[in-house]
Amino acid sequence: MCGITGFWDTSGQLSTQEKQQVVRQMSDKLLHRGPDDGGIWIDAEVGIALGHRRLSILDLSPEGHQPMHSACGRYVIVFNGEIYNFLELRQKLEALGYQFRGCSDTEVMLASFSLWGLERAIQDFNGMFAFALWDKQEQVLHLGRDRLGEKPLYYGCVGQTLVFGSELKALKAYPYFQAEINRDALALFVRHNYIPAPYSIYKGIYKLPPGIVLTWKGYAHSITVPYWSAKQVAENGVAQPFVGSEAEAVANLDALLREAVALRMVADVPLGAFLSGGIDSSTIVALMQAQSSQPVKTFSIGFYEDAYNEAHYAKEVAQHLGCDHTELYVTPEEAIAVIPKLPTLYDEPFSDPSQIPTFLVSQLARGQVTVALSGDGGDELFTGYDRYFLGQRIWQKIGWLPLSVRQTTAHALLARSPQAWDRLLARFGSFLPRQLKSRIYGDRLHLLAEFLPVESPDTLYRSLLSHWKKPESLVLGSLEPSTTLTNPEKWANLGNFTERMMFLDTVTYLPDDILTKVDRASMGVSLETRIPLLDHRLVEFAWQLPLQMKIHKEQGKWLLRQVLSQYVPQKLIERPKMGFGVPIDEWLRGSLRDWAEDLLDEGRLREEGFFNPQPIREKWIEHLSGTRDWQYYLWDVLMFQAWLAANVLH
C-alpha cells in the first residue's frame, strides 16, 4: 500500500532541477501513505515525473523500490495497492522464461505488461490498485484504477501540465495549482455527504472512475477505456442466474470467500482484521481463523452510549472463534478529538459521521498490525441496507396514488410546521385510534411529504439518499451536475427495483463514500486495508444469485448468513443491524456547540459566500431546541466549513 503522484509537463516551464524538486514535494505530501521508503524518477526531456511513497507489505527488500523499471526497459511504474494473485501470475511468467529480480507484485505487473500488453494483463489482475505507467516506446502515460474503486486516483490539468496523485494534497503541491472551488461539486456534496466521481471539490480536477484506464497522449489528448464494467456484470448475472440448489449456493459462496480471504492474508508484515460483530466482518474473521494456525488479531471500537455500541457482540464472536481480540472503549472527548484531523485527512469535504470511528479503529489496529482485513461490500452485494426494504414498502404504499394527488397532499402537509402538526394532533388526540397516537407526529408527516411527490421508485431511491433535497438553493452560484444517479443511460438494465438500488449503490455510494472513508482513515495512520468481499469473482457470483437467496422473510444477507452459521452460532449474530456511527446529534447540542456555532455564524457564512445562511440557521436553531434532528444536514455544512478553514482560508 502506497501513495503515488506525478506530472507530465508539456510546456517546458520547469527546469530539470525544478522538476525533481516539485515531484519530491508532491510525493512528500503522501508520507502517511508510505512512511517506509520513497523515490522519484523523471525524464526531463519529455517532461514526465513520477513520485512514490512506500508502505512495505510484500518484498521488504530494496527490490520492491519504486518507481520501478521493467526488465525490458520499456515501462516505468508507480503503483498503489496489491495484486493478490501475483504468485499465480509469476509462475505463468516464469514458465514463459521470465526471470525475476525480486519478490514484489509490482515486478509481476511490469512483466505482465511487457509480455502480454496492458489490456490483456490488467484483465488478469485480482487486486486493488491505482497506477501510473509510463510507456517510453509509445510516449504515453496510462493511469489505471481497480474494478470497484478501492484505491483512489485524482488527475487534471494545470495549464499544459497533467498532474495526478492518490490524494488531492499531492496535486496541490504542484506550484501552479489553482485551488478554485467547484460550486457545482459542492451542491452534490450537500446532497450526498460525499462528492461523486468523476468530480472533485476543485475545478478541472477529477477522480478516475473504477474499472478504467485513462491513456494520456499529450496535452488535451486522452482516451479512457473500461476494462471491467459493473453494469455489464449486473446485467449478465441477472440474465444468467445461478441455477443450483441453496446448499450448492452456500458451498460455492463459502469456497469463493475462503479463497478471497486466503489471497488477502498473504503479507510479510503483521496482519489482522476489523471486527464489529456484524455479519460481514464476522464472516471474514471466521474464514481467516479457519485458515490460520495462529489466533487472528481482531480489533473493535466500543462506545459508552448503548445505541452506538457493538463491541460486546464483537467480543463474543472473537471469543468463540479463538481470536486475539483487542477492544477500546472511546469516550466522547476522545472521539471528538478526531474532528480537527478530518479536513486534512479527507482532503475534500466528506461528511459520513462514521469517518470518526473508522479512524479510531484504524488507529487501534495500527498499534499491532500493518494490514487489516475489512468486511465492507457485503451490504451492496447481499442486500444489507435498510433502504432496500424501506424503499419497497414506501413505494407500495404511495405508488398507486395518482401523482397529482400525492403532490397536493405533500403541499398540504408542508403548509404546517412539524410543531403545528404536533399541537393539532394533541388537540384531537382523544379521537385518534390508540395505535396512531404513538406513531403520528409532525416530523413524520414532513418526512412523508418529502416522498409523496416522487415520480417513480428510482426518484424515491434518490430521495432516500439525499440530505439537502434542493442543493442549488443552498449553495450560491451552483448548478447541480448530472451524475450516475441522475443519468439512466448509466444504469444497469434491471427490472427489479431492489436490484437497481443495489447496482447504483455499488457504483456510487460504495466507491465514493464507503471505500473513500476506509482508505483515508486507514492510510492516515499508515495501515493497509484489504476487502475480500470485493474480489471481482465474488462480485460476479453475487450478481448471479437470485434475489430470494439474498432476502428471506424481509431479512437481507440470507446466503451470507448461511455461510457464517457454519462457523459462528446464530445466537451470536442474529440481531438488528446497527450503523457504525457516533451521536453527532447530541454532541452538536453539547460539546461541539461552540465549535459549530462559530462555523455556522451567519456573518461568517455571508462573508465566505458559498452558502445561503437562512436555511442553515433555521435548521441549527431547530436542532438546538430539540424540536428537530438535523444532524446530517448540519454535519454536511460543518465539514465543508471546517475543510474550507483548513485548506483554503489559511
Identity of the amino acid at 460: L
Sequence-distant (6+) residues with CB within 8 A of 330 are: 301, 302, 303, 357, 360
482 annotated to bind ligand: no
Q: Give, for 243, the enclosing helix (H) or strand (E).
A: none
Report the DSSP beta bridge partners of residue 325.
298
* The CA-based dihedral angle spanning residues 57, 61, 65, 70, taken in that order and rounded to the nearest 10 degrees: -110
**Assigned C-alpha cell, 64:** 520492491
- Residues 29, 348, 584, 507, CA torsion sign: negative
What is the radius of gyration, based on Cα positions, of the chain?
25
Contact 348/517 with Cβ under 8 angstroms? no
Residue 611, SS3 per DSSP: strand
**CA dist list (Å): 125 to 108, 118, 236, 254, 480:** 10, 11, 21, 22, 36
Length of the chain: 650
φ, ψ dihedrals at 2, nearest 5°: -155, -175
Please choose, from the candidates 158, 152, 138, 135, the residue with its C-alpha nearest in 3D space to the C-alpha of residue 220: 158
**Assigned C-alpha cell, 408:** 397536493
Residue given cell 489528448 in the structure block: 221
Residue given cell 473493535 in the structure block: 300
Sequence-distant (6+) residues with CB within 8 A of 312 are: 277, 302
Sequence-distant (6+) residues with CB within 8 A of 426 are: none
430 annotated to bind ligand: no
Contact 265/292 with Cβ under 8 angstroms? yes
Is residue 323 annotated as a catalytic residue, yes or no?
A: no
Identity of the amino acid at 310: E
Identity of the amino acid at 643: W
Q: Where are the extended beta strands (E) located within 361-506?
A: 371-373
Report the DSSP beta bridge partners of residue 509.
none
105 annotated to bind ligand: yes
Q: 2, 103, 157, 323: which is the annotated catalytic residue?
A: 2
Q: How far apart are alpha carbons 280 and 518 in whole angstroms?
A: 15
375 annotated to bind ligand: yes
DSSP string, 308-325: G--HHHHHHHHHHHT-EE
Terminal alpha carbon distance of the chain? 31
Q: Give, for 328, the enclosing helix (H) or strand (E).
A: strand 324-330
**Assigned C-alpha cell, 563:** 455461510
Q: Give, for 289, the enclosing helix (H) or strand (E).
A: helix 279-290
Residue set of the binding site for ATP: 301, 374-375
Residues involved in catalysis? 2
| Binding-site entries | 105, 301, 374-375
Known binding residues for L-glutamine: 105
